[in-house]
A and B are shown apart, each in its own frame.
Chain A
Amino acid sequence: MAETHLEVVKVWIAPGCIVCDSCENDCPEVFDVQEETCLIRPPAQSESFLRPLTPSIQIAAEGCPVEVIKFETKEVEGAAPWANQPEGQPAGAVPAAKAAGPSKAPAPMQPADPKWQALLSNSKVSPSLSAGLATTIKRSAEVNQTEEIVRSMDMKDAGVDWKHIPPDQRAALLSVAGAYHPATPLADRLRQHLSIGARSTRRQFNLALVVAWGAMAAVTATFGAMFQDFFGPKVLKEPKSVYRVGKVQDFSLAGVYEQYKPNGIWVVNLTPDDTKLVALSTTCTHLGCIPNWLEGENKFKCPCHGSGYHRDGVNFEGPTPRPLERYAVSKDPDGYLIVDKRKVFRQELGEWDSPESFIDIA
């Protein structure tokens, strides 16, 4: 009588996997347990790949605690090729079945080819594109299986001879055939991790919310306070702005009086050009440096950008756009000169004619 046996031709995972790793232990060729579910490895989509693995798939399905491993079987004539093998090593013992089975047996799994392994582990792979591949090769059963498939393919037309191609090209071929899964990128792992974290309870979520927003509010408030403090005055003392600088007759000689420069004032007697006594600001109208009075050159000269002013404060050289400013001057009842820095007179606005801006010493 014709003996028959069942072979697995299709396998899938029903919803409800608890990622217990049990099936991957029983049949690593087919099952790939990941963080959230179990996947069927891509080579295991093909019928010919699955058939010789029937016993271990069955063991895995029986061992599944939640029974989500489903498979389809097909009746095949002849004795099961693995029937006489001892339990536990179903996958490795296929070669004998080749002759026994009436249907053409698929490319069987074999242990790693030692030559191939030696080649990979010893060869100095060129520092090119495939350098990264060689370091990621793990001799998993899956790699062996893929290698068998690639070997059995006739690629002579493409000029590829498996026996004679360099190791990096072998690795590349294996890669194309799907032997390697790229390592999960760090970003994906982080994302997975975070999505697990997001499945926290409402209480945890609220706590995290309070802590995070609290920390952010504290940082913002601290920086805001620093910002505010930065703009506030560090010195509260209001500098004096009205000066009694000396008797008017002390300035009766023509020239520039520099005694009050530290207070920001040049007292200038404009004789013989004019019969005025004026108080010039010592701040350059270009960008606020303090110019120097050069007696020999008869000019004010700024050390920062070279602006120059005549003795009366009118600009004539360098980049400054307008003359030095004059302060309000007056004579008090005791005959002293009072300079009021709160009132400024600008020549380009025609304010130097104002009687407050000078003292007539004619």
Chain B
Amino acid sequence: MTPILAAFPPEAVKHAINAATKPYWFITLATIGFFLMFILYKWWTRPAIFWTIFGLFLIGYFGSIDDANFRSIVAKPDNVPITMMVISVGLCLWLGLRRAAINDSRVAAGLPLSEEDRDDKVLVWPDLVYSELICLVLATAGLFLWAIVSKAPLEQPANPGYAPNPAKAPWYFLGLQEMLVYFDPWMAGVVYPGLIILGLAAMPFIDVNPRGNGYYTLRERPFAIITWMFGFLILWVLLIFFGTFLRGPNWSFFGPYQYWDPHKAEALNNIDISHMFWIDIMHRARPTADSNPIGALPFWLVREWLGFVIVAAYFFLLPIFLRFTIFKRLYENMGAIRYAVMVMLLLFMALMPIKMVLRWLFNLKYFIYLPEFNANL
């Protein structure tokens, strides 16, 4: 191997990427990038610029296979779909925003939508059937090739006394597994997936605005599109990326070019809100059944009162506050019931990154910690 290749990517770049993928930095940068992507969407979707960025990304991504630690992640047969996901999400994102940019520019110039100028009708036979046949053949050939080239990993027989380290879910569930790190199993395993499905099903009933139907646009639907894309890109795709590239042994965080050291020491003494209030502020032990400062109330309510207040304010006062401020027009357009459903789903969605950041910054574990009832938030 030539020295030039051996040095790719340069050590400084590796260090910079490792540093930037520390979770709080990474999610901050990703969120900034996410909003820049929408603010500058007319600029970066221009073909020359996009293909330059995309080409550089591909060179960096596949060039990094030279790095042993990166290769151990990317070359793993389990993770081949991740590479496909990263590339296809990028391409689809570009395609959608590119066409939105074209349409928005046309509308601003008083021209009809690009969809209106196109005659999309084609014949089923031969146009559609031929394309389907070609896709079918190519996909089958691709699957055969994939199955031959990369073998399915075969591990030891199942053993109830042993779990691989790290034990990772199938790639498409890594986002859920990442959620489980921050929430009680009931929340992240049942409530959140249920809310995701319910929320997606409720979407056509919540959002009855016909603009954007059948054509690409961003300017006509900025709130709806950006909210949806935040949920999809940051809270799903990015979390899958987290789980694949950044989670190593003992579920610790590692940079993509870092060695997966199973003995990496990380201070993760997570504490609850009640711990912060009673021990750090009041300098006393948390109330128990035996030492309850307000005997009239159950001890767990006294212990967790601050958490209850915060959660209640978040879920009940914040919607009312939003209704009179930034969501004023939205409320008038949607009506009370639609607004209530929408804002609840939105707040649940927002709780996800909020809690992640609080965990990374303050080691916050739970707002409300009720092991007596197996209920924590």
B-binding residues in A (CB < 8 A): 127-128, 131, 261-264, 282, 286-287, 289-292, 294, 296-297, 301-306, 308, 316-319, 321-322, 348-349
- Which 4 pairs show the lowest CB-CB distances between chains A and B? A306-B251, A317-B268, A303-B165, A262-B161
* Contacting pair B251 A303 (CB below 8 A): yes
* Contacting pair B263 A296 (CB below 8 A): yes
Least CB distance, A73 to chain B, in whole angstroms: 50
**B192 interface residue per 8 A CB criterion:** no
Task: Tell me the dominant secondary structure on chain A's binding face.
Answer: loop
Least CB distance, B186 to chain A, in whole angstroms: 9
* Contacting pair B369 A321 (CB below 8 A): yes
Q: List 13 A-B contacts (CB under 8 A).
A: A290-B163, A291-B163, A297-B263, A297-B265, A301-B250, A303-B163, A303-B249, A303-B251, A316-B269, A319-B181, A319-B183, A321-B371, A348-B372
Q: Chain B residues with Cβ under 8 A from A287's Cβ?
A: 180, 185, 189
- Which residue from A127, A262, A292 sits with its C-beta under 8 Å from B165? A292
- Which residue from B167, B180, B185, B371 sits with its C-beta under 8 Å from A348? B371
Instruction: Name B146-183 residues within 8 Å CB distance of A.
Output: 159-167, 177, 180-183
* Contacting pair A128 B119 (CB below 8 A): yes
* Contacting pair A304 B161 (CB below 8 A): no
- Count A-B pairs with CB separation below 8 Å: 91
Closest residue of A by beta carbon distance from B161 = A262
* Contacting pair B167 A304 (CB below 8 A): yes
- When A297-B265, A303-B166, A306-B268 are in contact, do A264 and B160 touch as well, CB less than 8 Å? yes
**B283 interface residue per 8 A CB criterion:** no
- Which residue from B166, B181, B371 sits with its C-beta under 8 Å from A318? B181
* Contacting pair B119 A317 (CB below 8 A): no
Give A303 to B249 CA distance when docked, in angstroms: 6
A-binding residues in B (CB < 8 A): 119, 121, 159-167, 177, 180-185, 188-189, 249-252, 262-263, 265, 268-270, 365-366, 369, 371-372, 374, 376
- Which residue from A263, A306, A316, A321 sits with its C-beta under 8 Å from B181? A306
Q: Chain B residues with Cβ under 8 A from A294's Cβ?
A: 250, 262-263
Least CB distance, A297 to chain B, in whole angstroms: 7
Q: Chain A residues with Cβ under 8 A from B119's Cβ?
A: 127-128
* Contacting pair A304 B163 (CB below 8 A): yes
* Contacting pair B180 A305 (CB below 8 A): yes
Task: Tell me the dominant secondary structure on chain B's binding face.
Answer: loop
Give A149 to B88 CA distance when docked, in angstroms: 59
* Contacting pair A318 B376 (CB below 8 A): no
Least CB distance, A284 to chain B, in whole angstroms: 9
Least CB distance, A352 to chain B, in whole angstroms: 13
Closest residue of A by beta carbon distance from B253 = A306
Least CB distance, B312 to chain A, in whole angstroms: 21
**Most chain B CB within a 10 A radius of its CB, from A292, A302, A303, A316:** A303
Give A127 to B167 CA distance when docked, in angstroms: 57
Give A35 to B162 CA distance when docked, in angstroms: 72
- Which residue from A318, A322, A349 sits with its C-beta under 8 Å from B251? A318
Q: Chain B residues with Cβ under 8 A from A291's Cβ?
A: 163
Q: Chain A residues with Cβ under 8 A from B252's Cβ?
A: 306
| Additional 4 contacts, C-beta under 8 A, given A318-B181, A319-B365 | A287-B185, A294-B250, A305-B251, A318-B251
Q: Chain B residues with Cβ under 8 A from A128's Cβ?
A: 119
Give A127 to B252 CA distance when docked, in angstroms: 60
* Contacting pair B180 A286 (CB below 8 A): yes
Closest residue of A by beta carbon distance from B185 = A287
Q: Chain B residues with Cβ under 8 A from A296's Cβ?
A: 263
- When A287-B189, A304-B163, A322-B371 are in contact, do A317 and B251 touch as well, CB less than 8 Å? no
* Contacting pair B251 A304 (CB below 8 A): yes
Least CB distance, B304 to chain A, in whole angstroms: 13
Q: Chain A residues with Cβ under 8 A from B262's Cβ?
A: 294
Q: Chain A residues with Cβ under 8 A from B177's Cβ?
A: 304-305
Give A137 to B333 CA distance when docked, in angstroms: 50
* Contacting pair A306 B250 (CB below 8 A): yes
Closest residue of B by beta carbon distance from A260 = B161
Closest residue of B by beta carbon distance from A292 = B165
Q: Chain B residues with Cβ under 8 A from A308's Cβ?
A: 250, 268
Closest residue of A by beta carbon distance from B189 = A287
Least CB distance, A341 to chain B, in whole angstroms: 13
**Most chain B CB within a 10 A radius of its CB, from A286, A294, A317, A348:** A317
Closest residue of B by beta carbon distance from A299 = B250
Q: Chain A residues with Cβ under 8 A from B270's Cβ?
A: 316-318
Closest residue of B by beta carbon distance from A287 = B185
Q: Chain A residues with Cβ under 8 A from B167's Cβ?
A: 289, 303-304
Q: Chain A residues with Cβ under 8 A from B268's Cβ?
A: 306, 308, 316-318
Closest residue of A by beta carbon distance from B263 = A296
- Which residue from A127, A262, A306, A318 sits with its C-beta under 8 Å from B159? A262
Q: Chain B residues with Cβ under 8 A from A292's Cβ?
A: 163, 165, 250
* Contacting pair B184 A290 (CB below 8 A): no
Least CB distance, B54 to chain A, in whole angstroms: 34
* Contacting pair A303 B164 (CB below 8 A): yes
* Contacting pair A282 B180 (CB below 8 A): no
Q: Chain A residues with Cβ under 8 A from B160's Cβ?
A: 262, 264, 290
Give A263 to B263 CA distance when docked, in angstroms: 25
* Contacting pair A302 B251 (CB below 8 A): yes
* Contacting pair B251 A321 (CB below 8 A): no
* Contacting pair B376 A321 (CB below 8 A): yes
**Most chain B CB within a 10 A radius of its CB, from A291, A301, A318, A321:** A321
Q: Chain B residues with Cβ under 8 A from A127's Cβ?
A: 119, 121
- Which residue from A263, A286, A290, A319 sits with its C-beta under 8 Å from B162? A290
